[in-house]
A and B are shown apart, each in its own frame.
Chain A
């Protein structure tokens, strides 16, 4: 079967660093996406990993290990506006992308 696991909720402090983990078991793998979704809004693209290693983009970094079926999203210098859900998604092939249920991040002052 297809399965993507992420923690349901996390809480972190403004200015800190938080790591959101994602493990996946899918029938195919063409790449892994992270999306951010604020409450009541549409998901927006954050990052894409197709090869093993770390991709850095400003305050956000994403890591992938294909052999372990594992990824994480690292958020540095947390701001209140980072309070949102973070969705891990695996592109399994063709037009199919499997989304995890998302991790709700609460940033507190």
Chain B
């Protein structure tokens, strides 16, 4: 693989279910991010990680958790999905915090 990948591409989920969105990069970037994009609101930061083993909260972290066990992977978990979490989710990475971000192709999630 080259760059940053996300899985699944899209998912329909029943409310109350647990879901993990996967993100993997092969650029050896230290910083990784999760955003959600909603119509008219732009990209909003959910969680970020500046290096393996550390994570931080963004603008809209409630209902989401992340982990960063290694440099390449940064999964996002919805413990109990709600309809307001219906959105397009983008994972991104950068060499260091504040640098140009490179985005994955996105996951379109619908919670019913």
Contacts and interface: CB of A to CB of B under 8 A. Distances in A.
Interface residues of B, number: 24
B83 interface: no
Given A41-B105, A101-B41, A94 B97 contact: yes
Given A95-B31, A95-B50, A43 B97 contact: no
Interface string A29-47: 0110100000001111100
B104 A95 contact: no
B98 A95 contact: yes
Interface in A24-62: 30-31, 33, 41-45, 48
Contacts, number: 50
Contacts of B35: 99
A21 interface: no
A99 B59 CA distance: 11
B90 A95 contact: no
B45 A97 contact: yes
Nearest to A43: B103
A31 B94 CA distance: 15
Interface in B40-77: 40-45, 48, 50, 56, 58-59
A91 interface: yes
Interface string B69-106: 00000000000000000000010000001101111111
Contact of B100 (A42, A48, A101): A48
Nearest to B43: A99
B97 A95 contact: yes
B103 A101 contact: no
Interface of B: 31, 33, 35, 40-45, 48, 50, 56, 58-59, 90, 97-98, 100-106
10 contacts: A31-B98, A42-B90, A42-B105, A43-B103, A44-B103, A89-B43, A94-B98, A95-B56, A97-B101, A102-B42
